[in-house]
Copies of this chain bind each other. A is one copy, B any other.
Amino acid sequence: MLNFSREKYLKVTGGAIELREEIERVVDKIYEKGFKNLFLIGSGGAVATFYPFEYIVNSTSTIPAYAEIAAEFVLQNHKQLSEESLVILSSLSGTTEETVAAAKYCKERGATTIGITGEYNKPLADIVDFPLVNFAENDFASDSNQLVLFHLIFRLMHKNGDFPEYERFATQLEILPEKLIEAKERFEPKAEAFAIVYKDEPYHMVVGSGTTWGRAYSYAMCVLEEMQWIKTKSIHAAEFFHGTLELVEENTSMILLKGEDETRPLMNRVERFAEQYTKKLTVLDTKDYALEGISLEFRKYLSPIVTSTLLQRLSVHLEDKRNHSLEIRRYYRTVAY
């Protein structure tokens, strides 16, 4: 696969999986103390990675969960935050200003804080009560993050009595990285074909629902817009029919991220519409990937990581065919603002 190191990928994802014991120790300690609600706080790609987990907790568990944008959260005075709150923050570099400020803010209010990050001795790891550290290059950070969260969030739900299958789930996560590589390989020709056909496309709609909505939101914003300077509209499948549909013409590019959770019928409805009204329809469907050894009942939870692992291949081919490095920025870390 183009610009892909199997070895590096397995090292990064393996690092996340190796955190299992530590995560379980942390969760057990937190449960001893007890907590009343859960905040998931980040900025950009990090908060987007939390959206599927907010959805999953709300669907599976009695723990009230809130995913929040860091910079807004420190201003809003959210009344559900208290010393009985558990706060999970995430920043790969450990230096994202707003997220570091949110970590401080939550600590000052007595909440218990966990930080998912790639680096020790950086502000986020230094501030939080429990840093969970796994080094990851930018391109594999999302998969690493999600693997940490699958252990962390599902262990929390397990301790809360909402997810008795945790042991089996966590064991299956061990083989997931290999299965994700197989999925990437299977997707590879499609990723390249997409990049060839759409390299000059000026605008994409990216549609998701349930556990794939956060992936649609972040792929549009953090890859297509930030890294490729292509205009996008990310839109929830249920909301699509309340306005955005009117833009669709036969040359409108639509990218549908289909997962396997309860909201799949919402995506099917958008797909049926798109099939009729545009010639530029791309469907990424997690169902097309076998993930052998993963139980059927866990697949719906894994839709976001399958989606993001595939999309990462799309990015590599867009970079190549568009001759536009994923690393260049007009503004970010280039000018002050």
A55 interface contact, C-beta 8 A: yes
Set of chain B residues within 8 Å of A262, measured between Cβ atoms = 75-77
Binds B, one of A7-15, A180-188, A263-271: A263-271
Binds B, one of A23-31, A125-133, A141-149, A241-249: A241-249
The docked-state distance in angstroms from the alpha carbon of A217 to that of B312 is: 27
**A97 CB → nearest B CB, Å:** 10
Cβ proximity bits A66-103 to B, threshold 8 Å, 1 near / 0 not:
00011110011111100000000000000000100000
Set of chain B residues within 8 Å of A265, measured between Cβ atoms = 75
Tell me the A229-246 residues at the B interface (CB within 8 Å). Answer: 229, 231-233, 235-236, 238-239, 241-246
Contact A225–B246 (Cβ < 8 Å):
yes
Binds B, one of A189-197, A288-296, A324-332: A324-332
Known: A72-B263, A209-B72, A272-B337. A225 touches B247 (CB 8 A): yes
Contact A266–B226 (Cβ < 8 Å):
no
A4 interface contact, C-beta 8 A: no
Known: A244-B225, A247-B231. A60 touches B79 (CB 8 A): yes
Tell me the A207-236 residues at the B interface (CB within 8 Å). Answer: 209-210, 221-222, 225-227, 229, 231-233, 235-236
Set of chain B residues within 8 Å of A272, measured between Cβ atoms = 337
Contact B229–A231 (Cβ < 8 Å):
no
The chain B residue sitting closest to A337, CB to CB, is B273
Known: A210-B76, A337-B272. A246 touches B231 (CB 8 A): no
The chain B residue sitting closest to A73, CB to CB, is B238
**A102 CB → nearest B CB, Å:** 11
A64 interface contact, C-beta 8 A: yes
Contact B64–A78 (Cβ < 8 Å):
no
Contact A242–B222 (Cβ < 8 Å):
yes
Tell me the A31-54 residues at the B interface (CB within 8 Å). Answer: 37, 43-45, 47
A171 interface contact, C-beta 8 A: no
The docked-state distance in angstroms from the alpha carbon of A174 to that of B229 is: 47
Contact B238–A331 (Cβ < 8 Å):
no
Known: A221-B243, A226-B242. A59 touches B76 (CB 8 A): yes
Contact B44–A243 (Cβ < 8 Å):
yes
**A50 CB → nearest B CB, Å:** 13
5 other A-B residue contacts (CB within 8 Å) besides A221-B243, A226-B246, A227-B246: A59-B76, A62-B79, A76-B262, A245-B332, A276-B337
Write 14 A-B pairs (CB below 8 A) sorted by A numbering: A43-B239, A58-B78, A59-B76, A60-B79, A69-B238, A70-B238, A71-B238, A72-B238, A75-B263, A77-B262, A221-B239, A225-B247, A231-B231, A231-B233
The 3 A-B residue pairs with the shortest CB-CB distance in the complex, in nearest-first order: A44-B242, A221-B243, A226-B243
Residues on A lying within 8 angstroms of B by beta carbon are: 37, 43-45, 47, 55, 58-62, 64, 69-72, 75-80, 98, 203, 209-210, 221-222, 225-227, 229, 231-233, 235-236, 238-239, 241-248, 262-263, 265-266, 269, 272-273, 276-277, 329-332, 337
